[in-house]
Structure 1
Amino acid sequence: MAKDERNKIAVVGGGAAGLFAAVIAARQGAQVTILEKNQRVGKKILATGNGRCNLTNMDMHISHFHGLYPKFSYSALHQFDNIKAIDFFEHLGISHKVEDEGKVFPFSNQASSVLDVLRYEAERLGIETRVESEVKEIRKIAKGFELTVKDGTKIFAHRVILATGGKAAPNLGSDGSGYVLAEKLGHRLVEPFPALVQLKLAEPFLKQIKGIKFEGEAEIIVHEKSLVKAQGELLFTEYGISGPPIFQLSRTAAEQLKKKQKVWVKVKIVHHLAKEELGSYLDKRWQDSPEKNISFSFVGFLNKQLVPVLLKQAGLNDINKPVKQLTIQEKERIITILQDWRFEVTGTNTWTAAQVTAGGIDVRDINPHTMESTLVPGLFFAGEIMDIDGDCGGYNLQWAWSSGYAAGKECGR
């Protein structure tokens, strides 16, 4: 396809959203240049889904997306939904499979294969890719935009797509530099904070239980009200708690901490039994071996390293006395802490550990159908740079594809 010299598009950022937007625009004949600050494009794609690339999810309900105005995402997600995303990548050669909770992965289990086919398509379409080209300024001029690269090079474009990502994983190039570019052009910023990240806790005994994994349930509590909960593998760390359920809850926790609220995470160590069932089960264990000390009575049921800490937190001073000496009150406290162990959340882990950014460029100044700025005609946005973020499970990549599609389609007209 002949390139249209009258429609030169500069895509700032060569991550998932930027690459996708570039491909969509180039397919319509636009002359596209990607400007990427790293030594190669798509570095963050390689890290998604633990190196497997969670492409999308079969459950694409709007409730999985967040921001001050989450409904902003609806139009783009409708234009290019999960089925269209799967079909797009199938045509590029990516066979897919659906796993637990509707997560969609490449059949190859390799994130590199997704990046490979996107780069191949970009090359096939004649997209120019300039790496180590950090854009330091974007200036609106009469017929378009003038972009200044770090080395002083000036680049002209009729239209610009900002797809620089947020602040999560700065080691992969996301350092918030796109916010500065957008703010200089008049856009407002919703203060970013880490999401899909581990939580920090205040307890002094964390070093004793670090590394302990278990299947359980976690819940965020504020003013004794449950805000959100999730089940799965939990992991105690030296600084707090991690695992997929914690990643799901972390945005809510961080949001409440920003509001100066006192935030608690309620951990249910034994989540597969109701409280009465758990009480009956423990009574039977203790009746079967009344001479065992309390701590040893949990061997084979709970992680041995966890038991002494848990019992002390339940208020048992002598954890070595025989179980036959347990009082009714002590039994009740043990049952309670196994299903309602609360920790005060003091913060989240750093940007380096976060998978995604919450907050970003205020979407009230962006057209939800085209991703074009309502303040600066010809300026478009795609991906994580905007104040839209998704749950763990393929939602953030789907937002990259959907917003990239909307921006690229309009730019390529």
Structure 2
Amino acid sequence: MILYIMSKNKNIAVENDATAKGVIAMLREIAIIGGGAAGMMAAIVAARNGANVVIYEKMNRVGKKILATGNGRCNLTNINLSHQNIGCLHSTNRDLVRNILKQFTVENTIDFFEILGIAHKVEAGGKVFPMSDQASSVLDVLRYEIDKLGISVLCDCEIQSVKKIKDQFLLKDQNGVEYRADRVIMVTGGMSSPSLGSNGSGYGLAKSLGHKVVKPFPALVQLKLESPFLKVIKGIKFDGEASILVDREALRKEEGEILFTEYGISGPPILQLSRSAVEALEYKKKPQLKIDMFPSHTHDELVALISLRLSYQYDRPLDFSFIGLINKRMIPIILKEAGIHHLDKLCSEVSNKEIRNIVKILKDWEFSITGSQTWANSQVTAGGIDVSSICPETLESKLVKGLFFAGEILDVDGDCGGYNLQWAWSSGYVVGNEATIK
């Protein structure tokens, strides 16, 4: 006997009853709560496996946060990331991260998007971008594939409750409309960039189903500093090195363009360091930021450079002698921080000790970190759903069968450079696959 089963996308011919049962199992209803990177990947994979898929998205369109990634260029992934090298992803269960990256690798991601039409290029630091340099092109091909697969997308639809009733899930939106599903994939993101849809709403849904949440905090975010000079030096940029110190121990060091702001400090190195700083503050510690404005010079080399400079300009005022070496607005502050208050003293009158004090500030200027900018300014959320209650191979809940989590909602976060998007693609792939085969 041949049984025909109607799917959204096709008629499937089944030759016997046993096979029919298997196909019917495949045609389960998958509810995906959240239409970001992980949600769209999960939807595509599940639909390709034959499931009927519905994406529930609270915003007026899916994928808004993708458009903001990579400064509008979409840093798709990073070729330096693998299940053997996960140093740029942070979690309390690193084996879970390895398991997921092993199932859908960086190479798989590049191939996936190449087939969809995204030619790629690799830039400094292993960052992978679309050849078009447009994040919109990535979203375009994802949305095209979603349409092609017949995936239903309900926008302006915020799921406010999820309940498990026997073998099905009952979902209810903000208008009281109810939906049913055989499997639920929760990919609502974290709390970063709430204007793009991430406001932590998924945490409440997860808690209602018995899951615990590791307290979220903003990462990849600008830092606030304690200093009386910030208003004077705001807007000054320089290429330097920054380190985070906790209890005098250097936790991490980064180089690149650093920017002083009215509230503190910003720039790519600061964003990379921010997780360590904010985490320390969460634990009531007192992190310090150390700035090296001349990372290419040792202390002794910089002492020699400044000594020679002052010897050439022995009859000039000290403050004037630094013009051309450091930003003019920085000169009086650097000198005062070095304990020199007569800024117009002649260069010939400057002692070796004073020169070393100046170098100490230029190489080891320390600031107390008092906090970070808000969730609206952060690029990613650290913390999230406690992964101890998540199966490390499938990302299925250990507490509720048929419930899966992926992306930023989990207690997994990465550095700048494509790592967070790769986690979204990998985890989205795994849950999209597992939700349809389990």
Counterpart AA for 1:340:
D
Q: Note if 1:135 corresponds to 2:143.
A: no
Whether the 8 Å contact between 2:122 and 2:128 is mirrored in structure 1 is yes
Tell me, yes or no, if structure 1 residue 175 matches structure 2 residue 199.
Answer: yes
Letter in 1 for 2:241: E
Cα displacement string for residues 170-217 of structure 1 (whole angstroms, at most 9, x for unaligned residues):
111100000000000000100000000011001111000000000000
What residue number does 1:187 align with? 211
Residue 154 (1) aligns with residue 175 (2) = no
CA distance in 2, matches of 1:361, 1:196: 19
Aligned residue in 1 for 2:241: 217
2:131 is the counterpart of 1:107: yes
Q: Please list every run of at least 4 consecutive aligned residues from structure 1 whose deviation after the TM superposition is greater than 2 angstroms.
A: 1-6, 67-71
User: How many residues of Structure 1 are paired with residues of Structure 2 in the alignment?
Assistant: 413
- Partners of 1:46 and 1:115 within 8 A in 2: yes
8 Å contact from structure 1 (residues 62, 71) kept in 2: no
Deviation at 1:368, TM superposition (A): 1.5
Q: Which amino acid aligns with 2:369?
A: V
Query: For 1:356-367, what aligned pairs fall within 5 Å after superposition?
Result: 356-367=380-391
Q: Which digits, 9 at most, give the CA deviation of each residue in 1:287-331, with x for residues without a partner?
A: 111122111111111111111111111111011111111112111
Report the counterpart of residue 256 of structure 1 in structure 2.
Answer: 280
SS at match of 2:284: coil
Q: 1:58 matched to which residue of 2?
A: 79
**2:314 match:** 290
Residue aligned with 1:76, SS: helix
Partner amino acid, structure 2, of 1:392: C
Quick one: distance in 2 between partners of 1:280 and 1:327? 13
Amino acid at match of 2:174: K
Does the residue aligned with 1:367 lie in a helix, a strand or coil?
Answer: coil
CA distance in 1, matches of 2:383, 2:341: 46
CA contact (8 A) 2:33 2:56 kept: yes
Q: 1:210·1:238 contact (CA, 8 Å) conserved in 2? A: yes
**How far 1:367 sits from its partner (Å)?**
0.9
* Counterpart check, 1:320 vs 2:319: no
Q: CA deviation at 1:70?
A: 3.0
Does residue 124 of the first structure (1) align with residue 148 of the second (2)? Answer: yes
Query: 1:13-67 deviations in whole A, cap 9, x for unaligned?
Result: 0001101111111111110000000000000000001111000001112111112
Q: Distance in 2 between matches of 1:55 and 1:11?
A: 22
Report SS of the residue matched to 2:153.
strand
Shift of 1:68: 2.2
Q: Whole-Å Cα distance in 1 between the matches of residues 140 and 317 of structure 2?
A: 59
2:94 is equivalent to residue 73 of structure 1: no
Counterpart in the other structure of 1:40:
61
Q: Residue by residue, what CA displacement relative to the aligned partner does 1:325-374 show, whole Å, maximum 9, x if unpaired? A: 11121111001111000000001111000000000000011112111101
Task: Find the residue that maps to 1:352 and give its secondary structure.
Answer: helix
Which residue identity lines up with residue 150 of structure 2 in the other structure?
Answer: G
* Structure 1 residue 276 corresponds to structure 2 residue 297: no
CA distance in 1 between counterparts of 2:52 and 2:322 reads: 67
State the shift of 1:412 in Å.
2.3
Corresponding residue number in structure 1 for 2:265: 241
1:9-24 aligned within 5 A: 9-24=30-45
Residue 228 (structure 1) aligned with residue 252 (structure 2): yes
Helix, strand or coil at the partner of 1:137:
strand
**Secondary structure in 2 aligned to 1:187?**
coil
Runs of 5+ consecutive residues of structure 1 not aligned to the other structure: none
| RMSD across aligned positions (CA) | 1.0
- In structure 1, how many angstroms separate the alpha carbons of the residues matched to 2:318 and 2:374? 39
Q: CA offsets per residue over residues 211-255 of structure 1, 9 Å max, x none?
A: 000000000011111111100000000000000001110000111
Letter in 2 for 1:286: L
Q: Distance in 1 between matches of 2:412 and 2:94?
A: 6
Tell me the secondary structure at the aligned position of residue 347 of structure 1: strand
Residue 266 of structure 1: aligned partner: 290
Please name the residue that 1:94 is paired with.
118
Contact 2:384–2:410 (CA under 8 A) maintained in structure 1 = yes
Aligned residue number for residue 207 of structure 1: 231
Task: Return the structure number with greater relative CO, CA threshold 8 A, min gap 6.
Answer: 1
Pairing partner for 1:300 from 324, 333, 336: 324
Pick the structure with greater CA Rg: 2
Deviation per CA, 1:390-413: give whole Å up to 9, x if none: 111000000000000110011122
- Report the counterpart of residue 29 of structure 1 in structure 2: 50
- The alignment partner of 2:272 has SS state of helix
C-alpha deviation, 1:71, in angstroms: 2.9
Q: How far apart are residue 143 of structure 1 and its match?
A: 2.4
Say if 2:95 and 2:392, in contact at 8 Å, map to a contact too: no
Unaligned 5+ segments in structure 2 are: 1-8, 12-22
**Partner SS, residue 342 of structure 2:** coil
Q: 1:211 touches 1:237 (CA, 8 Å); kept in 2?
A: yes
- Per mean C-alpha deviation after superposition, the further-off stretch among 364-373 and 185-194 is 364-373
Calculate the TM-score normalised by the size of structure 2: 0.93
SS at match of 2:391: coil
Alpha carbons 1:2, 1:29 under 8 Å: kept: no
The alpha-carbon deviation at position 81 of structure 1 amounts to 1.0
Partners of 1:155 and 1:107 in 2: CA distance: 40
Q: Is the partner of 1:62 in helix, strand or coil?
A: coil
| Equivalent-residue separation in structure 2 for 1:139 and 1:120 (angstroms) | 32
Q: How far apart are the structure 2 equivalents of 1:165 and 1:258?
A: 21
CA shift, 1:69, in A, is: 2.2
- The amino acid of 1:34's aligned partner reads I
Retained in 2: the 8 A contact 1:56–1:82?
A: yes
CA distance in 2, matches of 1:341, 1:379: 50
What does the per-residue CA deviation read over 1:62-84, in whole Å, with 9 as the maximum and x for residues that have no partner? 11111222332111111111111
| 1:82 equivalent among 66, 90, 106 | 106
How many Å separate the matches in 1 of 2:80 and 2:335? 41
